[in-house]
Structure 1
């Protein structure tokens, strides 16, 4: 049986504006109704707002954005362990769980992934920047009411960082480089520290980003444009055991082969560059392993637990908080990288 509730949803349109529109939310009895409390603005949300697209995903109709959000359960299916009033982080991933990749436990690569707040498919998949959302029970990860919602709202980007750490293997005692100290790069720094890395260097051309990387646990931060330190990283075949590329900048991507020791690993997270001049020969003779890292699998629940128990403190990255009525100002603030790292909306 379907139920209907009247909600007010923050909607982004193909004309690149955001407005409040009463919408009827229809959902089945086997779904969970969640009252949204907090949502973090991601880079893809900003791209949809500014350009009407995020990568190859182009808006063809109004869409509710947002995939980093938490809330409280208002209604749950009969017999579910989920309880009314329970605090939950919402995993925005909705893989098909039937294809070959899903059966191989590679759900993050599912070609039929219905990721919340994404225009990849048509009709688009609405996100969580609304008063209420209806989700599947398995998307709800309960957390202690003693934890702050603004902290747990970092679960999705932290899950991306933890997946990258898992792609790299054991970091215990390793020397780590992170290029690009935006929110994801800074969370990789924190996750690497929590995973036992002995030394973590972060690079970014922004002084503000370098300061945040230090606050998140970097041993050293470097401006790659003005420093002479990078030359030392190439001595004796390379300095770092593991390099995480989180900027997507062609120059950063090409530089990592020289900085990585023989038999080391490079994990590519940063998007943006489509064509890069890459020192393939050096990669081969040093037998460096180059691995992509995309979204996350079961790392979402791990991220919730790390945030819940204080293993990672993301709050240095929280630059601003806005009420729902100021969502346009929030998006514009989040889009100014000179002002903000992570911006959250309060519902």
Structure 2
């Protein structure tokens, strides 16, 4: 079968469309036919730098953690059956789990000896067929169709909002600021709108699909942080470059959640002493998150089912067949989400 595999070389990684063996039954009792694969910055970073950990006995890592597939085979008693659309949960706990992993909160792993499908030590979902353990398969409403591939990134922001709901001050009409209008930023705005917040989104583009998607939500779009005036009860920093802005724009008693990985543009923007002063003096909370567990996938699924299908389709700006996979890894500031189609 065909698979998108990353191979290590001296200066980084090389992504190729490989012929690989069929997935081993040891990988899970569910045999799944790939329908689509979402491509994100993590995938591009793995390709650029090479995989950090290749599965034992392999020469490359099958890429892909944003999955959508259809079950071909399922054992009796499985929570999903043949024909169901599913998405795979990404992280797997250490076989000797920490306390968090043992409680199903493997996104909070304390010992760091986890694996992640398509990222760290486990093949991903970028192959024509893959296997899943039933406990790590999330059934997808067929009405979502191709937008089901958004479930994994939505689960990440569902976790961010779970944290913000707990930490941010409660007011009759809370304001939310989203820094960055990539897929994560737009999905964060989408979940904020579902919470009936006054939502503002900042990105650097003045025109194109990103401002359109924000306005279609009923949120306010800004092409610079300066035009988003005032402070906000909840801030979601998705760009990785606006740490100082995220903290400064958080209202007294409010909370900021960092979702974007650290960007070199934020280096030196705020020193630790100044950060502590800004947080303590205004009773602000700063939190960060990455990855998600089943609870967040299920919350994401519930949120996506309530979405306008046309709005979700507007996020999928670049959908290419497997044969044209290189186009999905190109970078374009106007692109939102690139998706590789495995089946028609």
The verdict on how the C-alpha distance between 1:290 and 1:146 changes in structure 2, with shifts beyond 3 A counting, is closer
Report the alpha carbon displacement of residue 32 of structure 1 after superposing the two structures with TM: 0.7
| Correspondence for 2:114 | 113
Q: Work out whether residues 33 and 74 of structure 1, in 8 Å CA contact, stay in contact via their aligned partners in 2.
A: yes
The verdict on how the C-alpha distance between 1:284 and 1:209 changes in structure 2, with shifts beyond 3 A counting, is farther
Alignment partners' CA distance in 1, 2:210 and 2:78: 45
Alignment partners' CA distance in 2, 1:209 and 1:179: 16
The verdict on how the C-alpha distance between 1:212 and 1:45 changes in structure 2, with shifts beyond 3 A counting, is farther
The verdict on how the C-alpha distance between 1:48 and 1:287 changes in structure 2, with shifts beyond 3 A counting, is same
| Correspondence for 2:47 | 49
Alignment partners' CA distance in 2, 1:253 and 1:224: 14
SS across alignment from 2:91? coil
Q: Does 1:68 align with 2:60?
A: no
| Correspondence for 2:16 | 18
Question: RMSD across aligned C-alpha pairs, in angstroms?
Answer: 2.4
Alignment partners' CA distance in 1, 2:216 and 2:184: 11
| Aligned length, in residue pairs | 319
| Correspondence for 1:211 | 211
> TM-score scaled to structure 1, two decimals?
0.84
Structure 1: stretches of 5+ with no match in the other structure: 1-6, 234-238
Alignment partners' CA distance in 2, 1:311 and 1:107: 31
User: Which of 215, 227, 252 is the matching residue for 1:262?
Assistant: 252
Q: In terms of mean alpha carbon deviation, does 206-215 or 275-284 score higher?
A: 206-215
The verdict on how the C-alpha distance between 1:63 and 1:190 changes in structure 2, with shifts beyond 3 A counting, is same
Q: Does 1:159 align with 2:143?
A: no
Q: Work out whether residues 177 and 244 of structure 1, in 8 Å CA contact, stay in contact via their aligned partners in 2.
A: yes
| Correspondence for 1:345 | 340
Q: Work out whether residues 215 and 316 of structure 1, in 8 Å CA contact, stay in contact via their aligned partners in 2.
A: no
Q: Does 1:305 align with 2:302?
A: yes
| Correspondence for 1:271 | 261
Report the alpha carbon displacement of residue 39 of structure 1 after superposing the two structures with TM: 0.9
The verdict on how the C-alpha distance between 1:189 and 1:25 changes in structure 2, with shifts beyond 3 A counting, is same
Report the alpha carbon displacement of residue 19 of structure 1 after superposing the two structures with TM: 2.1
Report matched runs for 1:1-347 at 5 Å: 7-15=1-9, 16-28=14-26, 31-52=29-50, 57=52, 61-96=59-94, 98-110=97-109, 111-119=112-120, 124-148=121-145, 150-169=146-165, 173-197=173-197, 199-207=198-206, 208=208, 210-215=210-215, 217=217, 219-224=219-224, 227=226, 229-230=227-228, 232-233=229-230, 239-249=231-241, 252-273=242-263, 275-278=267-270, 279-280=274-275, 281-297=277-293, 298-310=295-307, 313-332=311-330, 336-347=331-342
Structure 2: stretches of 5+ with no match in the other structure: none
The verdict on how the C-alpha distance between 1:264 and 1:309 changes in structure 2, with shifts beyond 3 A counting, is closer
> TM-score scaled to structure 2, two decimals?
0.84
Report the alpha carbon displacement of residue 18 of structure 1 after superposing the two structures with TM: 1.1
